[in-house]
Structure formats: C-alpha cells, structure tokens
Structure 1
Amino acid sequence: MTNQQFTGLPAADRLAELRAGLAAVEHRIEAACAAAGRPRSAVALIVVTKTYPASDTRLLASLGVREVAENRDQDAAPKAAQCADLPLTWHFVGQLQTNKVRSVVRYAHHVHSVDRERLVTALADAVSKAERPPLGCLVQVALDAEQRGEGAQGRAGVAPEQVLALADKIAGTPGLRLDGVMTVAPLSGPLAGDPAAAFERLAEIATGVRAAHPAATMVSAGMSNDLEQAIAAGATHVRVGTAVLGARSRLG
C-alpha cells in the first residue's frame, strides 16, 4: 500500500503534514521540559506508527525520527522488514502473546509490555534461538490493578506491588536487559482522569526499581493527550502517535 493510497495525499503533501505534526509535538516537549526544569535531551520521542503504512515510517525517518513503536506483530513485522534499511529503533508497546515472541524478537529493540513471568521465559528462549543481542524489556505497570475487582476491565500490566519481583526476574534472565517501567494512564480507580497523579505514582515505582537495578533508567509514559504530565513526573520516553500522524483509518 502506498502512502497516497492510504492517506489520499501525494507523498510531498503527506511529508508536509508529518513535518508539521512533529514540529508541534517537539514544541510541546520542549515547553514541558522547560516547565519541569529538565533538559530537552532528557526526554526521547517515540513515534507510534501503529495503523499507519511503512511509507509514513520512511517519511518520518527522512525527517529525523529514529524511534518508532508498534503494538501488533501482524502489522509490525512486515513494516519493520520494509524499513530494515533505515536507522530506526523499534519499540513493541502492545500486549504480547507468547506465540508472537519469536517474530517480535526479530525486529524489536525494546518490549515495553512485559507483564508476566511466562512472557519473560518465552522472550528469553526466542532471543537465544535468534542469536541476537540482549532484548531491552520494560515492566508494564497497571496503576489501577489495586482497585480492580475480580473480572473488572482495566489496563494491562502488573500491580505496583508485583513490579519489583518481575523486574528481578527480567534482570536475572540471560538474553534480556531490564530497561525500566512503562504505564498508560489508568481507566479506573482513584487515579483515573488524573494523569499527573498517575505518572507521579509511576515515578515512585521507577525509583524503587532503580534502587535495585541502577541501569533500569527508562520511564515510558505519556501519549498525545498527556505527554506534558508525564514529562513533569520524570518520563524519559513519551509515546506519541495521533499528535504526529493525525487521526486516520486503521490498516486492514
């Protein structure tokens, strides 16, 4: 699928759209860093390219984007293959089934959504068989887990009190590297609708993880609607899709 087929725009017009989206997000990040007293270099922008074609990823790379994220292997694997010649770092940010890990480890540099020991084992086994460098892993934290009743819906991830045990498991597993923690602002519980408080809670959890594992410095939090609150709370990586790429139809 070409960029023109997907967006209805010639490539030059789509490039201009992406340039404008990136500039607006960059301005927001710079302002948020300044307000928080942090250098701009303290926060990395990961552009979430899920549901957008590989042609957009190529255009983003031409604009200087180096970190991109996907959340479904069935979309990510072919896109990564089409963009294999580009100097990109690939982040997998979606819920990951164990039957997909062999594919994911072929292209992902970081997996942000590690939420159970079985997944840790599966990732390590796949990394070993792929004979690739260590895979960066982040523990996904469900900030609403403590308030959810049995069967209730909420964000994926592990409860705050389980984070350190899973972090220890990752750090002690050959082939994996503990990079830090990740969260999405919760949908329920006392922190719902209050991303600033949610990301402050994540910052507390991240501090605890770093006390045990000093190299686990990544704090992945904040998206298009709440990146400012995440940066204020100490996020090192923000994951932004819509604000850069616009709201468009899904692939497939």
Structure 2
Amino acid sequence: MKNASTTRRDEIAAGLARVERRIADACAAAGRARDEITLIAVSKTYPASDVRILSELAVRDVGENKDQEASAKAGECAGLPVRWHFIGQLQTNKARSVVSYADMIHSVDRPRLAEALDRAAVAAGRRVACLVQVALDDEPGRGGVPPDQVPALADVIAAAGGLTLGGVMAVAPLGADPAPAFARLREVSAALREKHPAAGVISAGMSGDLAEAVAHGATHVRVGTALLGRRTPFVR
C-alpha cells in the first residue's frame, strides 16, 4: 500500500503530465515551440510539501496571490530551485514583504505601487521583475489598468532602480470567450515592446483557458487546479 506522500506525488505527477500535454498540444496548434512557454504552478491554498514535490518534478516557477501565505511558504521552501511569482492584488504596505521573496510580480497596476516596490527592492538590494496588469474588462475589483494607461505605468517601472519591466499580465473576463481578450493583450504587448523591446513577457491563461492564451502569444501560463487538483483551505 502506498503511503500518503507517495500518493500525493503520483497525483501531482499525473496532473503535471496532463497539463504538459495540453501545453504541447496548444503549442503545436499555434505553431510555437514548447520552450516558449513557462508553466507557473499556482500553489495558493496548497501546502509547502506540494511545492517540494513540484520542485522534485522539475517545475521551476511557482505562483502565489496572498502575501501572508506566500511569505510563509517561501520561507518553508527556502533552498529549493524555484522562482516565486506574485500574481495577486497587492497593497503598498506589503511591498517590502513581497520583494523579499518574489522574483516576478505580475500585478502592478498603479504608479504608487511601483514606487513602493522600487523603494523596497532598493532597500533589500534586489532587482525584481514587474509586469503591468492590464484590465480587459470593466470589473475594477480584479485590478489592472486600461490599455491606454499601460505605457505611462510601464515607463515608471522601467525607470525604477530596483525594478525591471518584464511585460504585461491579464486575466480573461469572466464568462466570456477569452480569445478576444488575449488578442487585445497581445496588441498591448506589441505596442509596449516598440519602446521597451526587452519587455516580452505575456502572462495569460489559467487552467480553463491556457490553450487560447498560448494561441495568442502567452509566454507564461498560471495553472493551479488542473495541476494540483481541487483546492482545500490553506492551514499554516
């Protein structure tokens, strides 16, 4: 009889295999190479032990969306060869904490936040990659700036001494075909790269719409449920 940890490893390995097949199929359909896509395993609400298993399975990018959970988990997983991505809405008073562990912050949506992150990064002696979160719907609670405000915010990030402008991120509108939104994000990215050629990251696509995201140029997909299974409440 398998013990619980072996069973969980088998579950995660099977989920990873399924997600990898989906990404490979999406790349083939879009005429893209698999190595153009970075899979970010979204570990929110899952324990640090799952991150250790992901690391053993050669997953190198892990995403979290709440600082309290992310900072604790990053501490528990110190020493693992993983890059931490912060993908949730972020308050300026959490900037110092998030900068202490995050390698890339996907949800920068206002100059004040960029400035707070810059101060924290400089104080910590770090340089942190940041993405401009783009709002592709009319739901203000989901964060992001309208496409026409992306250039100004990108300039703030690019000029910051402790930050690097990585590119753009978006979440597809709820209950709608994601393809038009991802196509719009690709246009925003192309316009951004005219001034900032190195800002090539397009973070888009989750468990339900990763194929559409890959078809429209996503470089990073954020997958949780399809990879790790049904979520249970996180307990520290």
TM-score between the two structures when normalised by the length of structure 2? 0.96
> What is the aligned counterpart of 2:167 among 173, 180, 200?
180
- Displacement of 1:173 in angstroms is 1.1
Q: Given the alignment, which residue of 81, 86, 90 partners 2:75?
A: 81
Residue 29 of structure 1: CA displacement?
0.2
Tell me, yes or no, if structure 1 residue 221 matches structure 2 residue 204.
Answer: yes
Total equivalences in the alignment: 233
The residue that corresponds to 2:117 in the other structure is 123
Q: Report what 1:110 is aligned to.
A: 104
State the 1:45 CA deviation. Answer: 0.4
1:246 aligns with 2:229: yes
Amino acid at match of 1:166: L
8 Å CA contact retained: 1:155, 1:186: no
Superposed CA deviations along residues 20-64 of structure 1, whole A, max 9, x for unmatched, are 000000000000000000011111100000010000000110111
Contact persistence 1:101–1:123 (CA under 8 A): yes
Which whole-Å deviations, capped at 9, do the CAs of 1:186-221 have from their partners, x for residues lacking one?
A: 13xxxx511011100000000001111000010000
Could you say which residue in structure 1 is the equivalent of 2:136? 143
Percent identical: 60
**2:88 corresponds to which of 91, 94, 105:** 94
Q: CA deviation at 1:248?
A: 2.3
- Give 5+ residue unaligned stretches, structure 2: none
What's the TM-score, normalizing by structure 1?
Answer: 0.90
Richer in helix (by share): 2
Question: Quick one: distance in 1 between partners of 2:97 and 2:114?
Answer: 15
Matches for 1:51-90 after TM superposition, within 5 Å: 51-90=45-84
Secondary structure of 1:55's partner?
helix
Question: RMSD in angstroms over aligned alpha carbons?
Answer: 1.1
Distance 1:159 1:75 in 2: 29
Runs of 4+ in 1 over 3 A off after TM superposition: none
Distance in 2 of aligned mates of 1:155 and 1:75:
20
SS in 1 for 2:142: coil
1:237 offset after TM fit, Å?
0.4
Paired with 1:154 and 1:251, the residues of 2 have a C-alpha distance of 23
